[in-house]
Amino acid sequence: MSEQRNRLRIAAFVAALPLLFGGAALAGAAIEPHGENPTARTAEQDDHMSADTAHTPDPVRGLAVAEDDLQVVVEQPELRRGRKETLRFRIVDEHGEAVRGFDVTHEKRMHLIIARRDLTGFQHLHPDLAADGTWSTDVRLDAAGSYRLFADFSHDDTARTLAADLRVDGAADLRPLPAPQPAAVSDGGYDVRLDAGEARPGREADLRFTITRDGVPVKTEPYLGAGGHLVALREGDMAFLHVHPMDDGVRFAATFPTAGRYRLFLQFQHEGRIHTVAFTQEVA
C-alpha cells in the first residue's frame, strides 16, 4: 500500500511540472515588460543610440607618440636653428615595421604640422613617402626652443594624429599667447575677421572667416579640397583638434573639448599662393 502511494505522488508531481514552468514564464513576462535582456533593445532605444553616436565629438588627438599599435618615430629630432634640413620620420606598427598604406584625406596622404610650444612658428607641410616607408620633407626653424610635430593621417579608414617633440638649439625666447581679437592680418597682408559666436566647451562651434584685401572681399581658391584649411591647438598641452570644413566659404565646424584658450591657424589660397593667419580663441 505504501509503495502504491509513493508511485501516485511521483506521477502527480511530474504532471504538475509543465504548469510550474509555464507559470514561471508568465510571471517573468509580467515582471519584465520591457525585457531586461542586456542584448535586446527596442527600436526607440536604437534610434537614441544612433543619435548619440552621430553627435559624439571627435576625440582630442596629438597628445601621444603611440596610439592603437601605431607610433611615430623621428629619425633626427635635433635641428639646427635657421638652416634648411631634411626631416625624416616613419609610422611603425607594433612590430616596428614601417606602415606604407595611407588613405588620402584633404587631397594628401600625410599632413605634417609643426609648432613651437608657445604656439608660434606654425608650419603645415606635405612630406614625400619613400619605398621603405620613410616620410621626408625640408624644414627650416628660425627660432630656438621645443617644437611639437604632428603627423596627421588616415590608416585603414581611421583618422589618426601622432605627435613627437623636436628641439632647436639655443635659448628659447618664448612669447605669451596673444589676447583674443576678432581681426588679424595674414602673412600676405590680407585682412581676416573671425566670427565664432559664443564658443562653449563640448558644443560644436561655427567658425566663419571673412577675408578682404584693400577693403575688397576675397574669394579664396580651393585648397586641400575646401575654401581653406584650419588647425586648432590647445594652449598648454598642444592638443590637436580635428576641424571639419563646411561647404560654403571659409567656414568650419569645431568642438572645443574644454574651457581655455586655443590657437587657430587658418590657411587659404588666393592668386596661386598659400597664406596663413592665426587667431586666439577663448572658450568658456
164 and 71 housed in the same domain: yes
Distance CA 153, CA 187 (A): 26
Query: Is residue 59 very low, low, confident or very high in pLDDT (cuts 50, 70, 90)?
Result: low
| Among the ranges given (17-26, 52-61, 124-133), the one the predictor scored with the smallest mean pLDDT | 17-26
**4 burial class (0-12, 13-18, 19+ CB within 10 angstroms)?**
exposed
The single-letter DSSP state of residue 218 is -
Asked which of 50-59, 81-90, 185-194, 195-204 is least confident by mean pLDDT, the reply is: 50-59
Q: Considering 103, 134, 168, which residue would you say is the last residue of a domain?
A: 168
- 115-165: per-residue pLDDT in tens? 999 999 999 999 999 999 999 999 999 999 999 999 999 999 999 999 999
Classify residue 174: in a domain, yes or no: no
187 lies in the same domain as 242: yes
Among residues 105, 138, 168, the one where a domain terminates is: 168
pLDDT at 29 over 50: no
Reported as type and span, the H/E element at residue 90 is strand 85-92
Residue that is last in its domain, among 142, 168, 194: 168
Can you give the pLDDT at residue 247? Answer: 82
131 φ, ψ (degrees, to nearest 5): -65, -25
Helices (H) and strands (E) in the chain, counts: 2, 20
Number of domains in the chain: 3
Residue 123: all three cell numbers together: 608650419
The pLDDT of residue 191 is: 98
Instruction: With H, G, I as helix, E, B as strand and everything else as coil, classify residue 19.
Output: helix
Judge whether 83 lies within some domain: yes
Domain that holds residue 213: 183-283
Average pLDDT score, the chain: 83
Mean pLDDT lowest among 6-10, 176-180, 192-196, 232-236 = 6-10
- pTM exceeds 0.85, yes or no: no
Residue 11 has pLDDT above 80, yes or no: no
Asked if 233 contacts 240 with a C-beta cutoff of 8 angstroms, the reply is yes
Exposure on the CB side of residue 256, measured as CA atoms within 13 A: 25
Instruction: Look at residue 77 and tell me whether its pLDDT is greater than 70.
Output: yes
Residue 61 lies in a domain: no
C-alpha cell at 110: 600625410
